[in-house]
Amino acid sequence: MLSKEQVARYSRQLILPEIGVAGQETLLRASVLIIGAGGLGSPAALYLAAAGVGTIGLVDPETVVLSNLHRQILHATESLGRPKALSAKARLVALNPGVTVRAHQERLTAANAAERLQGYDVVLDGSDNFPTRYLVNDACVRSGTPLVHGGVVHLRGQVLTVLPGRSACVRCVFPEPPEVGAVPSCQEAGVLGSAAGILGSLMAHEALKLLLGLGEPLTDRLVVFEGDRSRFREVPVRRDSGCAVCGDVPSLRAWTERTEGCQEASAVRSQHVADL
């Protein structure tokens, strides 16, 4: 049963035959965890809160800095210095007070990942470094939680939806993360906010489709957005039966350790950024 306020708030999506009252009630009962309240997490969280996803979890250890604001539209000038998770929560609740926001001002680690993911229907990966991305993938596969993976840098980005054990996971497509410096970050190469907006919104769109059982998910298809041409391309990808994480004989523990090692190595080698 929807309240009068909810009927009014969600009226424009209620009238979609794909959603209706039943779909809206599904969304109000659903929960999505977003890793990273930054470039991708910002538009994703805004659209999920706007659509009435009942519970939104946010995991982000950082505070808002000025260089975030050209793309991280969840935050504002007045929130400089505030923890991103809390800044995000305030903004989302202002947009839609009916949404419960669980803000975790912390980094996702191998130690807390399983607990953090618990109880969520879908996870969105908007993190900003490779070790976390692989950790999110591995934790989602291990827990059987659908994952929408997205990345953006410069003017381009990629999105892939993972249904663990059924479709390609991130490691099926990119078995190992690059060594530090091999692929540039936004800090090094730059990024246009609108590109992050496009990919982040697409991630929220995918999450809503998954929650509603609507249409076809972006599974086994890596969507590549080339922002200079504003062109979307799609490359088919496949689940690898030999994948270390979701394959027939997973060596999951080994990968988790390797991810940790990657984090240590990153700290040691961070001063050596390859000249591209």
Partner 1 sequence: MPVTVRIPTPLQRLTNGQDEVTCDGKTVAELLGDLEQRYPGIKERICDPQGKLRRFVNVFVNEEDIRFLQGDQTGVKDGDEVSIIPAIAGGSGVAK
Residues at the site binding partner 1, with contacts judged by CB under 8 A? 36, 38-40, 61, 107, 127-133, 151-158, 170, 173-178, 180-189, 191, 196, 222, 224, 226, 228, 233-238, 262-263, 266-267, 270, 276
Length of the chain: 276
Instruction: Yes or no: say if 41 and 35 are a contact pair by the CB < 8 Å rule.
Output: yes
CB of 143 to partner 1, least distance (A): 21
- Our CB check for partner 1 shows the closer of 32 and 243 to be 243
Cα distances from 175 to residues 222, 239, 243, 246, 255, in angstroms, run 15, 11, 8, 11, 10
CA separation for the pair 168, 236 (Å, rounded): 10
- Our CB check for partner 1 shows the closer of 51 and 152 to be 152
CA separation for the pair 191, 176 (Å, rounded): 24
Residues in Cβ contact with 135 at an 8 Å cutoff, skipping those fewer than 6 apart: 108, 109, 110, 113, 256, 259
CB of 269 to partner 1, least distance (A): 9
CB of 83 to partner 1, least distance (A): 15
CB of 52 to partner 1, least distance (A): 28
- Our CB check for partner 1 shows the closer of 229 and 253 to be 229
- Our CB check for partner 1 shows the closer of 10 and 130 to be 130
